[in-house]
Amino acid sequence: LGIFRPRADSWPTSESRKMVGADVAGSDGITGKGVKVAVLDTGIDPLGPQSLGSTGESHVAGEPWFFDVNGHGTHTSTTLAGPARPTPRGSLCLGVAPGADLIHLKVMGSLVGTGPFSDVMAGMQRALELGADVVSMSLGGDDTAEPDSPEHRVVRLLVEQGIVVVAAAGNLGPGKATIGSPGSAPDALTVGAVDRNGQVSDFSSRGPTMLGLVKPDCVAPGREILSATTGLIAAMEFLEGPPWGSLSGTSMATPHVAGAVALGIEYARSRGKTLAITHIKDALARYGHSKDSETGWGLLMYPMLKRYVDEALP
C-alpha cells in the first residue's frame, strides 16, 4: 500500500499527471472516455470532493458495501480519474484520465487495508466478467518462485482476454529482488515510483523477481502525490485538511500508469485500432531506455503510446 508521509511539498495530481503526458492527451481531446478501468483496492468514498459515482462491489468478508474506510482506494481512484477540484490550500487535483469509467472492486478491508489474495483473485475474476479494459492493482504480497502460481495464472487469464493488468512493484526498495506479487507476474505491467525530478524513489521495489525476470516494466510519479482520500488516512492528514492526503508509494504510481493506458486505449480506438498490453510493452521497449531492474524501460507516457499507435500498430 501507499506510505503516509504528510509534507509541505505535496505534488497535486494536476501537476503529476503531466509527467505521463495527460496534458497532451487533453489537448488531443482524449480523456479515457469509454474505457473501463477496474480498481482493486479498499473501495471508494462515493460522496467525496472528487466523487466518482457509486459503481462497485465488495469482495471482503464481513464488509458487504464497497465504501472505503481506509482511504487508500479513494486516493488511487481519484489519482486515476478524479475530476478537477481545488483543495482548501489552493492546490488543484485532477486525475490522469478523468473520462474513464471506473469499476470499484473492494478487495482489501479491516480498516488498515489488508486481506487474503483469494479476495484479490475474486476481484480480478469479477473485473473480467464486468468487461474491464484495464485492471489497476495498487497492492501486493510476497513474491513466488512457483512458475505457475495461482496469482500469476489469474493475471495471465486476464491478459489473454485482452485486459491490461497494471500492478504495483511494491515498497520494499532500495534492495534488489524485492518485487511483490502480482507485480512479479510475467504478464503484468509492473510499476515503480519516481519523484517529481524523475528520480527513482528509495522505497520503490527493485527486480529481479524470484523467477529471474527484469521488473518493474515502467515507472510513474509516486512520491507525495496529493489527491482526495477518506477514512483512516484522511483522519491522519493535517497539512491539507481532510479529506485530502499526500501519499507516497508505488501504489500512487500505479494509477498514473493505468490512467495513461486508458488514454492510449481511447486514442487507439479513435484510429480504429486495439492497444493491448503486448503493444504497450513494445512501445516502452522501442521508445524507452534499456530495461533495468530499478525503472524498467522508464516512464510510461501517453505521447509514447500515441506514437506507437500511429507508427507501429496495424
What's the grid cell of residue 79? 489519482
**Burial group, residue 128, by CB count within 10 angstroms (0-12, 13-18, 19+):** middle
**Burial group, residue 8, by CB count within 10 angstroms (0-12, 13-18, 19+):** exposed
Nearest C-alpha neighbor of 75 from the set 228, 282, 277:
228
Pairwise CA distance, residues 276 & 312, whole Å: 13
The answer to whether 60 and 119 are in contact (CB under 8 A) is yes
CB atoms within 10 A of CB 38: 28
Cis omega (within 30 of 0) for bond into 12: no
Identified catalytic residue from 16, 45, 58, 72: 72
Pairwise CA distance, residues 76 & 68, whole Å: 12
Clarify whether 72 is annotated catalytic. yes
Cis omega (within 30 of 0) for bond into 174: yes
Which positions ≥6 away from 31 have C-beta within 8 Å?
Answer: 25, 97, 98, 99, 100, 263, 266
Pairwise CA distance, residues 180 & 184, whole Å: 6
Identified catalytic residue from 16, 41, 58, 246: 41
Clarify whether 251 is annotated catalytic. yes
Residue type, 189: L
Identified catalytic residue from 138, 149, 251, 293: 251
> Which residues are part of the catalytic machinery?
41, 72, 251
